[in-house]
Amino acid sequence: MSDHLGHVVERGAQASPLHTAGMALECRDLGFSYTEARTQIPALRDVAFSLEAGGSLALLGASGSGKSTLLQVVKGLDAPETGAVLLDGAGGGEAGYSGLQRQVGLVFQTPELQLFAASAREDVAFGPRRLGWTEAEVAAAVDEALELVGLPPERFGERHPYALSGGEQRRLALAGVLAMRPRLLLLDEPFVSLDPATRRELSAILVRLRASGVTLVLATHDVDLAWALCDELLLLDAGRVRAAGGWEFGEEGAGLLGAERLREPFLVQLWRRLGRDPRQAPRTYAEAAEALA
Amino acid sequence: MVMTTPPDRIGTPEGTPAPLLDVRGLRYVYPGASVDALAGLSLAVGAGEFVAVVGANGSGKSTLARLLGGLEKPAGAEVATVCDHDLLTHEGRMNARRDVGVLFQNPENQLVAECVEDDVAFGLENLAWAPAEMLARVDEMLARFGLTELRRREPHLLSGGQKQRTALAGVLAVPRRILVLDEPTAMLDPAGREEVLAAARELRAEGLAVVYVTQEMDEVVGADRVLALEAGVVVYEGSVDGLFGDGDLVRRLGLGLPAAGELALELAARGRTVTPLPLTADDLLAALGGAS
Amino acid sequence: MRPAVAQYYPGDSPIHRLDARAKFVAVTALAVALFLRDSFAGLAVFAAAGAVAYVLSGVPASWFWRAFRPLLWLVGLTFLAQVLFAPGEAFYSFWIFHFSWEGLAFAAFLSLRLLVLVLIGSVLTLTTQPMALTDGLAWLGRPLRRLRVPTDELALMVTIALRFIPTLLVEVDQIMRAQRARGADFGSGGPIKRARALVPVLTPLFVLSFRRADELALAMEARCYRPGIVRTRLHPLKAGVADALLLVVTAAVIAAGLLV
């Protein structure tokens, strides 16, 4: 982990994004609905939670529970009908809010859909260019991001996005968001339809990102991934918050997860069955193996 | 998600009938490629067998699926017979398309018609079935895959799992002897995955020969046999347990392991070998409890 | 949400139950007849026929209104043209605008004719399922096969295109949102700037569609589709007495409209 970060810092003239403090996020009584087939569908209802700078939040819930909608409202692609999104304590309409919104990165589901440029570098540069940076700053950010996602710029920089494999395209799309140096990173199901090898590598990348101080919000079905990456969770059901806060592994906690057809993380279950304290269960398989070997 | 093996299927004592699918030395090259996608692959599958095919991206599994379905022309083979059709001839491939059903990975890009029941009927319409018989068969397929209430629903209003079930119903509406599934759950969420796996489980009980291509190890449990592909050739063929027993091979192939298996690989890297690779917490606990 | 003209309103009215081919022939014949003669009386006959069909169809007025709305600008344009190039005596003039009774009457006629045309056309599209309509057209176009026109394949292409429209709309929206999340701005700037802003949306859409075409073709072949085969239909078209009646009534309306 430190090797990689050290490498990045050495190359760039600008401070690496990974050393910028994360952004604090708060949602107050968010309400949002949209119209489909002439009916009003309430996607979010009274959603409230807070996440401190550098924190990590898992957004759990079934399909249609509102996870994607919440991420898009936080990013500012949709304005909430009621309530407010506070970035670093500032609300919409306050001075500097749009600047803060630009520091929020959102990676959509199957983000390969957004690839369009003629080369990997050009595509990753799209976001940074729109932030008004100089060409030199953009180039540095692009190379840094490509390096970070495991697509070394020397080999992949000029490759055409459509000539890359599915896993490589996913990494490229992620680089496109990371190059914008987000202080709050929102990820919507980052590993859907990825091959196992890429899943493992991207997991490791996200772990490193989190450790560097970026605030992380991860919407996912994968409870084990959520456990590995996030200290807190927010459980959504039909747009409402069912549970928020730390992972509780008492009777009630497991019951809440079960009601949403989610199970407890594997390592938690294992720790409990081994007679150890489930709240002290390790986050990664490597740590677990260390403890058991 | 354990699939049970019907007890009297494997190792039939009396003279086993000729395999439904017999392929030897199968080769395929993508146009303009310098390397064979399939470099001499051999596989035989009998009626009622459930064979899993695993391998990383680029190992040739999807190519194999398409060739078995008669959808591509092989570059060559010693033998390439599928349901008595010769895949090396054009007519053989066209006929193979009728007897071999193929379900692909992306549910969205398999649905052609404007509503579920019309899509399920698509294959039958292509074979010029009479409308009355078609309707009966479509009703049967819809009921079988739990789609009856959705029969007039438009595809874009279906969930991923529902789309894939519709595609499967459409593939099986045409009576098949072999079903090839090419990573059918890769793009689905856990709920959708479970729906498709449940449907696949039912099929093997019905005597269809099933070839299930996947990168996820937990989907091969209960298969009669598993083939592991690497760079277009078979590097392992045998029982599922045998493959799980070879941790090095599994790691090299880069396959997706369930949590227990991942943990076991990490333990092995620290000197604590757990064989065969466990799939569930139960397996792991049993192995750990026993070993220490 | 598909544009109103192509939208189907599910129902079981006498009009819904008519065969798609008969409806298409009737509507086409009426549309042609509408333009054969410039007469308010004739127009009234066709309008009445359209109104009867509307009532029988059971489709709510709001759905018809959605088809009319985009044409209001065309109506405005028609009036403007008449006012700029008025035939006959102007009763009032202002700068380049000349108002004459003949001009206004003609503009009114043209506009009403357009609305009647849309009314009749909408009855067809609102009461006929797209698949039935394409099947019907394929059947009617069968003679063209002699001229090597692949009517059945074209019909299938239309069906597939219609099937994917809602899907593509969702995908376009998703792509636009993803690019907006990267700072893309689709709303500001002059026409050239806006057009260029669409490249990050159109390029992926094209690639997605080509890839889709590849995969769909493979899936279709896997279900025994080949161009040129004879296909049966799950819901075959069945013409009956009501359809024959429709054609007779249509002929009568046309005669009345042209002779009145």
Residue A248 distance to chain B (closest CA, Å): 21
pLDDT over threshold 90, residue A230: yes
Report the complex ipTM: 0.88
Tell me, what's the pLDDT at A249?
Answer: 67
Extract the tokens encoding C247: 């054609």
Stated pTM of the model: 0.86
Q: Which range scores top for mean pLDDT: A32-46, B87-101, B191-205, C179-193?
A: B87-101
Tell me, what's the pLDDT at B107?
Answer: 95
Gap between the Cα atoms of A84 and A27, Å rounded: 6
H-helix or E-strand spanning residue A48: strand A39-51
pLDDT over threshold 70, residue B106: yes
When pLDDT is averaged across residues B228-252 and rounded to a whole number, the result is 90
When pLDDT is averaged across residues B209-213 and rounded to a whole number, the result is 94
Extract the tokens encoding C139: 């059947």
Buried b (16+ CB within 10 A) or exposed e, A141-173: bbbbbbbbbbbebeebbeeebeebeebbbbbbb
Q: Among C184, C204, C208, whose Cβ lies nearest the Cβ of A130?
A: C184
Q: Do A165 and B262 touch (CB under 8 A)?
A: no
Tell me, what's the pLDDT at A252?
Answer: 63
pLDDT over threshold 90, residue B4: no
Residue A284: which of A187, A200, A219 has the closest Cα? A200
* Chains in contact with chain C (at least 3 beta-carbon pairs closer than 8 A): A, B
Q: Would an 8 Å CB–CB cutoff place C170 in contact with chain A?
A: no
Q: The dihedral of CA B224, B230, B232, B237: what is its sign?
A: negative
Q: Would an 8 Å CB–CB cutoff place C260 in contact with chain A?
A: no
Chain A residues within an 8 Å CB radius of C208: 113
Q: How far is CA A206 from CA A24, A69, A275, C76, in A?
A: 18, 22, 30, 59
Q: Do C222 and B102 touch (CB under 8 A)?
A: yes
Q: Do C204 and A176 touch (CB under 8 A)?
A: no
Q: Would an 8 Å CB–CB cutoff place C93 in contact with chain A?
A: no
Tell me, what's the pLDDT at A10?
Answer: 28
Q: Do B281 and A224 touch (CB under 8 A)?
A: no
Tell me, what's the pLDDT at A250?
Answer: 64
Tens of pLDDT along A153-199?
999 999 999 999 999 999 999 999 999 999 999 999 999 889 998 99
Q: Would an 8 Å CB–CB cutoff place B124 in contact with chain C?
A: yes
Q: Do A269 and B281 touch (CB under 8 A)?
A: yes
pLDDT over threshold 60, residue A256: yes
Chain A residues within an 8 Å CB radius of B259: 224, 266-267, 285
Q: Do C208 and A177 touch (CB under 8 A)?
A: no
pLDDT over threshold 60, residue B160: yes
Tell me, what's the pLDDT at C12?
Answer: 87
Chain B, 237-276: which have a CB under 8 Å from a chain C CB? none
Q: Among C166, C212, C221, whose Cβ lies nearest the Cβ of B97?
A: C221
Closest chain C residue to the Cα of B72, Cα to Cα: C218
Chain C, 1-60: which have a CB under 8 Å from a chain A CB? 1
Please report the beta strands in chain B, taking only residues with DSSP state E, as ranges in sequence order. Answer: 21-28, 38-45, 50-55, 79-82, 85-86, 100-103, 178-182, 209-214, 225-230, 233-238
Tell me, what's the pLDDT at B290?
Answer: 57
pLDDT over threshold 90, residue B274: no
What is the distance of C-alpha B139 from the center of its chain? 25
Tell me, what's the pLDDT at A254?
Answer: 67
What is the distance of C-alpha A250 from the center of its chain? 27
- Mean of the per-residue pLDDT values of chain B: 88
Tens of pLDDT along A118-142?
999 999 999 999 998 999 999 999 9
- Mean of the per-residue pLDDT values of chain A: 86
* Residue of higher predicted confidence among A148 and C3: A148
Tell me, what's the pLDDT at B90?
Answer: 95
Chain C residues within an 8 Å CB radius of A127: 182-183
Q: Among A108, A127, A162, whose Cβ lies nearest the Cβ of C174?
A: A108
pLDDT over threshold 70, residue A17: no
Which parts of chain C register pLDDT below 70?
1-6, 86-87
Residue C225: strand pairing partners: none
Cα angle vertex C150, ends C147, C156, to 5°? Answer: 155
What is the distance of C-alpha B257 from the center of its chain? 17
Gap between the Cα atoms of A269 and A277, Å rounded: 10
Q: Return the percentage of chain A with pLDDT > 70, whole number.
A: 90
User: pLDDT confidence of B16, banded at 50, 70, 90?
Assistant: low
Q: Among C175, C185, C199, whose Cβ lies nearest the Cβ of A113?
A: C175
Residue B88: which of B176, B27, B168, B5 has the closest Cα? B27
